[in-house]
Amino acid sequence: MNIPLGSMRSKVFACLMFLLPGLAAAHGLLLDAKHVGDKIEGTVYYSNGELAVRESVELLDLSTPDATAVAGETDDAGKFNFPVADGHRYRVSAYAAEGHGVDIEIDAVANARPKLIETAAAAEEQSWMPPAWAVIGLLLLASLVPVVVSRRRAAAGPAANR
C-alpha cells in the first residue's frame, strides 16, 4: 500500500498545527514584588513576558492570627499595591483566568526579597510536563520524518513508487 508523499506531509503538518497552538498558549504566571514605604507593590506577568492585566491578586498578613486575605486586581500595566504594616510577613497570591497561579512571601522591611512558595498543586503540575525545549526538540525531530521517507523512496528508485 502506497501513501502519497504529499498526503503524508499534509497529515504531519495538520498534526503539528493542532499541537502548536496549545504550546504557544501554555504559559505560567510570574510575580515580582517589593516593599516600598508603607505598601507592597509589584507586577504580575506571564512567562512569555506579556503583562497580566486585570488579574486577581490577594494579600494575606501571615503575622496576624486569623487574618483574612485582601483581594485586589492588577491594573492595565499588570501592577498592584497593598498597604501593609511595617515588619509583618505577607503572602501575595496572583491568579490568572487560565487557571495559573503564583504565591510569594515577603517581609515588610527595607530591601526585602520575595520568596516563591511552591504549592503542592504547582509541583504536581510541573512533575508530568516535559520542559519546553524537549517538546520543541521532539517536534523538530518529527518534522524530519517526511524528509527521510522521501529520500528513501528516491534512493529505492522508480520501481518502489509503483
Residue 102 shares a structural domain with residue 49: yes
Same domain, 82 and 141: no
Q: Which helix (H) or strand (E) element contains residue 116?
A: strand 115-117
The mean pLDDT value of the chain amounts to 80
Q: Write the pLDDT tens digit of every residue in 92-105.
A: 999 987 678 899 99
Position 7 confidence tier, pLDDT thresholds 50, 70, 90? low
Are 18 and 68 in the same domain? no
Q: Are residues 64 and 89 in the same domain?
A: yes
Q: For residue 138, is it within any domain?
A: yes
Question: Does 37 reside within a domain?
Answer: yes
112 and 136 share a domain? no
Q: Is the pLDDT of residue 18 over 50?
A: no
pTM: 0.60
Question: Which of 8, 48, 3, 4 has the alpha carbon at shortest distance from 143?
Answer: 8
Quote the distance between the C-alpha of residue 128 and its chain's center.
Answer: 14
Determine the structural domain holding residue 9 and report its residue range.
Answer: 5-25+131-161
Of the pLDDT bands very low, low, confident and very high (cuts 50, 70, 90), residue 126 is low
pLDDT in tens, 36-85: 999 999 999 998 889 999 999 999 999 999 999 999 999 999 999 999 99
Which region among 10-14, 80-84, 111-115, 134-138 has the lowest average model confidence (pLDDT)? 10-14
45 and 71 co-located in one domain: yes
Is the domain of 33 the same as that of 108?
Answer: yes
Does 2 score more than 60 pLDDT?
Answer: no
- The reply to whether 138 and 104 lie within a common domain is no
Per-residue pLDDT at 21: 42
pLDDT at 118: 79
Give the DSSP H or E segment for 17. helix 5-25
Question: How many domains is the chain built from?
Answer: 2
